[in-house]
């Protein structure tokens, strides 16, 4: 009756909806209820409220590991998927950790140093151990 639809067959809007539901399902394992916003609210695609009523995440969905100047100091989390792995990270915190670890050298591309923007299609091996701190291990 039900047949999986290959991700590659989805259009960009459908992929964003798919990724929202995958991330929201993973966050549910950690006590969060997610609400999709009809348009970006200060950079957030959705909000996730913890069952404790205190923790609130404002989340921007991305297709890959990303930093962007327009997200700085907005209290945003970035969520993206790599296969079955889901990562949710505090944008400013992770950028600082990468910078402190020397992953933002003076020889970096101008976009990273000047514009403050950078993304990676594939996660560099040297960054993976830090990024793993933000991987959601879902409860099955």
Domains (ranges, CATH) in the chain? 7-136 (3.40.1350)
Both tokens assigned to 114: 């000047």
At 115 the three-state DSSP class reads: helix
Decide: helix, strand or coil at residue 123. coil
pLDDT of residue 41: 79
Across 39-63, average pLDDT: 93
Instruction: Decide if 59 contacts 23 (C-beta within 8 A).
Output: yes
pLDDT higher at 7 or 113 = 7
Measured in degrees and rounded to the nearest 5, phi and psi for residue 95 equal -60, -40
Judged against a pLDDT cut of 70, whether residue 114 lies above it is answered with: no
pLDDT digits (tens, 9 = 90+) for 1-37: 999 999 999 999 999 999 999 999 999 999 999 999 9
Question: So what's the pLDDT on residue 139?
Answer: 65
Distance, in Å, from the CA atom of 81 to the CA atom of 62, rounded to the nearest integer, reads: 8
Choice between 125 and 112, residue whose per-residue pLDDT is larger: 125
Q: What is the pLDDT of residue 115?
A: 64
* Residues above pLDDT 90, as percent of the chain: 62
* Residue keyed to tokens 């990468």: 98
Q: Does the pLDDT value for residue 103 go beyond 80?
A: no
């Amino acid at each position: 009756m039900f047949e999986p639809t290959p991700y590659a067959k989805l259009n960009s809007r459908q992929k964003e909806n798919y990724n929202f539901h995958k991330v929201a399902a993973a966050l549910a394992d950690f006590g969060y209820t997610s609400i999709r916003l009809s348009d970006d609210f200060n950079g957030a695609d959705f909000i996730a409220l913890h069952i404790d009523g205190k923790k609130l995440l404002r989340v921007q969905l991305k297709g890959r590991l990303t930093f962007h100047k327009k997200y700085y100091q907005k209290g945003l989390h970035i969520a993206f998927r790599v296969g079955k792995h889901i990562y949710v990270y505090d944008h400013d915190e992770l950028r600082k950790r990468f910078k402190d670890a020397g992953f933002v050298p003076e020889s970096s591309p101008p976009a990273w140093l000047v514009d403050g923007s950078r993304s990676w299609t594939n996660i560099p091996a040297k960054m993976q151990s830090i990024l793993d701190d933000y991987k959601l291990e879902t409860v099955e």
